[in-house]
C-alpha cells in the first residue's frame, strides 16, 4: 500500500466522525481542476507501518480512517490495508472515482461508507478529463452501490463547464440515490487562466433540479 500523504485528524472528511485521512498516489483520471495533483507522482512516500502504528496508538480517539487520493482502487494492497485498519476498530470510508467497479465490489464488505465522484453526465466526461475515457465503468459502480447495502454518497464538483442541465442529468441517472452532494468549484492555483466558478444562485438552482430525482441533495462549500 503506497501512501503519499497523511492527515492525522479531520472533522470534515468523514461525515459525523473524527477521522485520519490516508492519501494514495496515482490516478486513472486527469481532472484539470484537481487540487491533489501533487500527490499523483509523489516519490517521497510515507511508510505504511508508520501510519498503522499511529492508528494503533490513536484507537479510542479517532472514529475512522478515510482512504482517498489519487485513486485508492489502483492500489494492489488496498483490501489488505483496509482489513488491517478495520481490525483496529476503525470505521472505513473509501473515496473513489468509480472507474474500477470490480475493486469496489471486492472491498465493499469491509467498508462502512463510500464517497463516489460523478464528475459529469454520461458522454460529457471529456469536459473534466484531458483524454478520451469510457465512462461505462463509472455508472456500473454507481448502479452497484445503489443496489448494495452499503452506505454511500454521490458527489459532483460543479466546475465551470457544467450546467444546471448537466447536474439534473446526473441526478436523473442515479435517481433514488441515498444522498447527492453538489460541491463548489475552487480555482486551482496551478492554472493561469482560471474560469469563474458558477454563482451561488446557479448552484442553488442546480440543487433544486437534482432534488426532483434525489430528495437528499445538498450543497457543499458555498
**Measured between alpha carbons, how far is 136 from 190 in angstroms, rounded to an integer?**
30
**Strand ranges of the sheet holding 180-184, from the earlier edge strand across to the other edge:** 5-10, 19-23, 64-68, 91-96, 113-117, 152-158, 180-184, 217-220
Q: Is the predicted pLDDT of residue 194 greater than 90, yes or no?
A: no
**Do 127 and 162 contact (CB within 8 A), yes or no?**
yes
pLDDT single digits (tens) 160-171 = 889 999 999 999
Tell me: the pLDDT tens digits for 91-135? Answer: 999 999 999 999 999 999 999 999 999 999 998 998 888 778 899
- Assign 35 a pLDDT band (cuts: 50, 70, 90): confident
Domains detected in the chain:
5-220 (3.20.20.70)
Question: What are 50's three cell numbers?
Answer: 508508520
pLDDT of residue 181: 98
Q: Are 137 and 188 in contact (CB under 8 A)?
A: no
3-state class of 77 per DSSP?
coil
Reported as a pLDDT band with limits 50, 70 and 90, residue 193 is low
Q: What is the mean pLDDT of the chain?
A: 93
Of 158, 48, 145, nearest to 104 by C-alpha is 145
Q: Residue 221: which pLDDT band, with cuts at 50, 70 and 90?
A: confident
Amino acid at each position: 500500500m503506497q501512501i503519499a500523504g497523511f492527515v492525522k485528524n479531520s472533522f470534515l472528511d468523514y461525515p459525523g466522525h473524527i477521522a485520519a485521512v490516508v492519501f494514495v498516489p496515482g490516478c486513472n483520471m486527469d481532472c484539470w481542476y484537481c487540487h491533489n495533483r501533487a500527490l499523483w507522482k509523489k516519490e517521497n512516500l510515507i511508510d505504511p507501518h508508520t501510519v498503522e502504528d499511529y492508528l494503533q496508538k490513536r484507537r479510542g480517539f479517532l472514529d475512522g480512517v478515510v482512504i482517498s487520493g489519487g485513486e485508492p482502487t489502483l492500489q494492489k494492497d488496498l483490501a489488505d490495508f483496509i482489513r488491517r485498519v478495520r481490525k483496529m476498530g476503525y470505521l472505513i470510508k473509501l473515496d473513489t472515482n468509480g472507474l474500477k467497479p470490480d475493486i469496489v465490489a471486492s472491498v465493499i464488505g469491509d467498508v462502512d461508507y463510500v464517497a463516489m465522484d460523478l464528475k459529469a453526465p454520461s458522454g460529457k466526461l471529456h469536459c473534466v478529463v484531458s483524454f478520451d475515457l469510457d465512462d461505462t465503468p463509472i455508472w456500473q459502480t454507481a448502479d452497484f452501490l445503489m443496489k448494495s447495502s452499503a452506505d454511500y454518497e454521490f458527489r459532483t464538483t460543479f466546475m465551470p463547464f457544467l450546467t444546471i442541465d448537466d447536474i439534473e442529468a446526473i441526478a436523473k441517472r442515479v435517481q433514488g440515490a441515498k444522498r447527492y452532494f453538489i460541491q463548489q468549484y475552487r480555482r486551482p492555483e496551478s492554472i493561469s487562466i482560471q474560469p469563474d466558478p458558477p454563482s451561488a444562485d446557479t448552484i442553488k438552482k442546480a440543487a433544486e433540479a437534482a432534488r426532483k430525482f434525489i430528495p437528499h441533495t445538498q450543497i457543499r462549500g458555498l
